Structure 1
């Protein structure tokens, strides 16, 4: 008997030892796999961190080069003013020119690795000397040739600097191919600014000397205008920018279009015409320079904002990669610690309790609600596990309630809190299933000139208009009236009623919209109007009803907007 008991104990010991080994293998393998996976993920995030930092360094270097190019190009303005100033303004003009040169020299001094910088400095010194000779010459003794030669000297210096910009940009792209798109875009902005400045300089000498525009200058002006238009077409492509970055880019592009491409080029063309027709009485070099420089201001702000976007992007990438790296390392360490602790706590009393818990989890997985059963004998360390299963059952019940709420949220438009199109169409098909026992009408509407509102006041103001219109629609909804935003500025109202009520609701809607006062951040009130089309169901087919309402909406649009059209044959 004693031998039998010993054999039973030995058998149980072997069984539990085997169980312990089987259970211990899983955490051990998990530790190894976690270490390997963590190493790969950490390496990936480290590469991202390194690339973000390199990108930030490279774009900062390009920013310094393009900033120097801007100050070199901007120096032409004060130089032109100083060379054309009379005796009363000569001192002030020379002081402004000295200040501009200091800015240029400061920007150039920060370029420690600019290709062939000594030759560029020599060329700049020669061009400045030519400018100084014209400035120091009495206005009555200045000649058109001397003035033009000095202007051409500064332009040639800027052109030489542009060659170095392209060399720097090519080197950056060669080192980091991922920067090709933003680098080319930044260089394109710099080239655009330089050509715009050069275009204005081509007119300074004839304006000051009150001479007809020389054929060489006229040819160069036409060439520069063509190049500027070509550059402008290229600057509309902002590949690689995220949505918010592209919005900022487009905003400053639009300001540049308004200030320079419209007013700046118009100023140039008008001045060329006056020079060709010898209308010198209203021409003044200083006034032309001031107006032209003002027109070019958005170009430099555009370039500066573009670099702000890039610097923020790479800084955010670096921060994000660093956070991920720290998180992965921390998680890996935590998992390894937990795994080692789990191996130390595995023993034979875990077997049956785990089986017990597994049956409970299976019931939870099949979404079966159950009452707590009697717990088998177990180590006190497992008590929280049994409690956790009970809590899990409660949480799953809560999750079912939350899931129901989420399904409701999935049917709502996030901006306006109206039904989205999918939910609207589902409800509409349910209502139409009762046709012809009960009439169904559909109102289709959209906001008149909504694109102009967005373009003029901005998308935030456009969103306010959408929300205010949604509030009006919310006030009209009842058990028999539902409203939806289909997308953009398109809305629909489904009415479980016939002509009389649908037309009355459309009239209320139009009156309420006309009374809306939507303000912008600049305290401007936006006038809002809508075009409305009404159709009554003639079958249970939703597509036919929507098509009929859209036809009436189109008719309202083509007949002046801010009106109501119905399938009854005319405006309401």
Structure 2
């Protein structure tokens, strides 16, 4: 009934009037387009730079904070080695302070790793961090194994503790940090890709983290011999010297004033503290152990005492890394705040300008163009049988108001006619007893010509109520009608909104499932069969009537001549279901030789 896409001119409207209306509309469109384009260009120029700065600042802050959390996790795992080494030594009694400290450090490490895992799904990051998942899985695996070895050896009597096993356990704890290094490298690469200006910060933070890690390794290299009272082996001495060399090399790079970009000047004093406490006092502790270990295993302290003495010497290293990253985060946070304020001010200014222009345009349009264009549009819509909103009061007083009142009267008359036509169409396409589509509507849908060019199959389910004639003969036709109505209700409750259900005739029903496979259609038919068989129909007098049905299911392409063939296939399957004993579903795929199925929306009242 509608002419979509066409330009309509009323027969009563002269050619001159139609051209005038069209010219007015064109002028209004050009005027609005020019104003919007100019305002849009101005807004884009003003906001684009501010928004770009804000996005960069927000992204940098998010990525740096995520990197900080990875470094924190590495530091906590490295710090966990201290009490782990302590409990491996001789003379550590159950319930000692070192064991309590180990439980505390483990909980801290677990919380840090959990935070990194949560960061993987952080939607505010610039790109997915899923690459960290396998890395964290490996870190967790190694950490569980290493902790198990620490607990196992700590539970052994002192005389059964083996130097090789203790060294292997310490190496296993080293392996946890080694497994986490790819996550650190990945985050450094992410920071470099996000903003090349962050590359220096990332590398400096990594070197500071390596200082803390290598400092812990320096103590761990001599920890196993101290734990069991054995002299230092050549490997212990070599590893200690290599680690000492790495520490001095890294410190020569980052330990100079000004070497760490953006470090708070008040923290420069931490450099001297590190030189004094770690590189002087801490190295002296290790040197004393090495000097004794070269000669014998008579160390002046236990593993627990060595841990308590040496670990505090590394605290300035971690304090420096944390101060450096805190300064970086604080600076990036300030950048984000400034960028957001700048963006908000720019957005508010351009929005105010745009709003002012729109108000002026709206005022001009409402005085001249809008009433004429609205009246023209309304008449065209009504002529093309499309609904419009009520126009009463929109034209103000005078001739325009009376014109809109007249259009409202016309709209009401056309709406009444449309409702009447829809009612007649529903009656023509709907089964009066069940409220489903009737066979005529189903034939229109099934035989519709395909215009979409989509190769879509359809499945047809035909069902027939078993022994329906016996129901009518035994209980009467009124009860038979109730059975049909209840069966229709059960079918509707069993199918999806996209499925088409119709009363095919008598006690037969049909269901079309567009685009479904034969397996899905068979499952749907089975669901309807089970629902019908398991839900007795309750009559008015309270009696319950058990009803079953047989189903035939077929698959094919129903459009462009394939409908009859699809019905024939489904009917054959229905016949087979009845011949095999009723209350069952039969079906198999058909040869796909027809055009695809297309559902006609107008046939579904």
TM-score by structure 1 length?
Answer: 0.50
TM-score by structure 2 length?
Answer: 0.47
Higher helix share: 1
Bigger CA radius of gyration: 2
